[in-house]
Amino acid sequence: NVLAPFSRVKTVKMCLLHVKWKGKDLFDLVCRTVGLRETWFFGLRYTVKDTYAWLKQEKHVLDQEVPKDSPITFHFLAKFFPEKVEEELVQEITQHLFFLQVKKQILDEEIFCSPEASVLLASYAVQAKYGDYDPNFHKPGFLAQDELLPKRVLMQYQMTVDMWEEKITAWYAEHRGIARDEAEMEYLKIAQDLEMYGVSYFAITQNKRDTDLLLGVDAQGLHIYSPNSKLNPNKSFPWSGIRNISYSEKEFTIKPLDKKKDVFKFYSSQLRVNKLILQLCIGNHDLFMRRRKVDSIEVQQMKAQAKEEKARKKV
C-alpha cells in the first residue's frame, strides 16, 4: 500500500512489489503515478516498532526494516521542507501535496496554530476547494461536513459551528478571484511562518540518563528545545554555522564553525533514531547548500514551463 499525505480522502494505491526492487524503484513508480518531478522533497515513510523510518533508495526494499509478515504500508510524504515555498515549489502538484500534508498536520495539531491564523488558513482552504464565494450557492451550513479547524481551537471558545462558519466565510469572501493553486500557495506562505512548520522533533538528553531535551531538525538547521516547549528553541545551530556533525552509537556531536563556540554533545535513545537524525541532517544540509547555488538546468526548465502554464491559464 502507498498512502498519499491526504489519507483523509482514503486514496490508496496498491501495487505488487518485485522482490529485487530497490527503494528507488518503488519511489520512482509513485512519483510517475502522481506526475511529480520535484522529487527531492519527498520520501516513502513506514512504521517500524515504536518509531518511523524512511525507505532508503539505494537499498533493496526487503533488505530494510520493513514489516515482512503483512502488506507494507508506505506513506508518501514530504521529508524535507523548502525555506521559501513561493520561490522553491515549482510544479502545481508539488504545491498541492505540500498543502494537503501541512493542512493535515495543522488539523492533527502536529503544528501549533493560533485561532486567528487557523481561521485565515481555513478560509484559503475553502477558496481552494469551492472557488469564489457565492452567497446564492454557498448557503449557511455549506461547510458543515468540512474539517477546517484544529479541535483545540474549537474547544477554546464557546462558539457554535455556525459561528465558526460565519467567521471563516467572512475571510473566504475576501479571496474572490484567487485560483485553487494560488489559494493553496497563500495557505503555505502563512503556514511556513508557524514555529513548528517543517520541524522533525526527537527526544534527546545531554547525559545518558534523562530525556530532558528535544532536538528539532529543519531547513534552517538544528534547534534545542525544553521538553514542554516546541515553539521557542533554547539554542540553534544554523547549517551555515556548523562545521561537522558526527555520531558514535548513541552519542551525537555538533561542532560549530566558530572554534570559540563550545562543541554540543547529546544522546538519543536508539541507534535507529540516530540514523534517522543523521539522515535528516544530511538531506537538509544538502538542500540548504543547493539553494545557494544557481538552479540546475532541470529546475530552470521546470520554472519556465510552470510560468508558461500560469500565463496560459490567465488568458
User: How far apart are alpha carbons 311 and 292 in whole angstroms?
Assistant: 28
Query: Mean per-residue pLDDT for 187-206?
Result: 96
Weakest mean pLDDT among 52-66, 206-220, 295-309: 206-220
Going by pLDDT thresholds of 50, 70 and 90, the confidence category of residue 14 is: low
Residue 184: how many CB atoms within 10 A of its CB? Answer: 27
pLDDT in the model for residue 118:
98
Side-by-side strand order, sheet with 242-248:
235-238, 221-225, 213-217, 200-205, 264-268, 251-256, 242-248
User: Looking at the predicted structure, is the pLDDT value of residue 49 above 90?
Assistant: no
pLDDT value at position 17?
65
Write down the pLDDT at residue 3: 53
Statement: residue 87 has pLDDT above 60: yes
Backbone angle region of 131, left / alpha / beta, with phi > 0 → left and psi within -120 to 50 → alpha = left
Structure confidence at residue 9 (pLDDT): 38
Domain segments of the chain: what residues?
2-78, 85-191, 200-291
Domain range 2-78, CATH architecture: Roll (3.10)
| Cα 10 to chain centroid, rounded | 19
Tell me the percentage of the chain whose pLDDT exceeds 70.
93
The CATH number of the structural domain formed by 85-191 is: 1.20.80.10
| pLDDT for the residue numbered 7 | 40
Q: Name residue, grid cell 538531506.
A: 283
For residue 39, pLDDT beyond 90: yes
**What is the three-class DSSP state of 214?**
strand
* Residue 13: per-residue pLDDT: 59
C-alpha 109/C-alpha 105 separation (Å) is 6
Q: pLDDT tens across 142-162, in order?
A: 999 999 999 999 999 999 999
Banded model confidence at residue 8, pLDDT cuts 50, 70, 90? very low
* pLDDT value at 6 more than 50: no
Report how far Cα 22 is from the mean position of its chain's Cα atoms: 24
One-letter amino acid at 8 equals R
In whole numbers, what is the pLDDT of the chain averaged over residues? 90
Tell me the CATH class for 200-291. mainly beta
What average pLDDT score do residues 166-188 get? 97
Q: Which three cell numbers stand for residue 138?
A: 454557498
Q: Which long-range contacts does 121-125 make (Cβ < 8 Å, 24+ apart)?
A: 121/187, 121/190, 121/191, 122/148, 122/149, 122/168, 122/171, 123/168, 123/169, 123/171, 123/172, 123/174, 123/175, 124/175, 124/178, 124/183, 124/184, 124/186, 124/187, 124/190, 125/183, 125/187
pLDDT interval class at 208 (50, 70, 90): low
**The pTM is what?**
0.91
Mean pLDDT within 116-143: 96
Q: DSSP characters for 122-156?
A: HHHHHHHHH-S--TTTS-TTTTTT---S-HHHHHH
Predicted confidence (pLDDT) per residue in 251-302, tens digit: 899 999 988 888 999 988 788 888 899 999 999 999 999 999 999 999 999 9
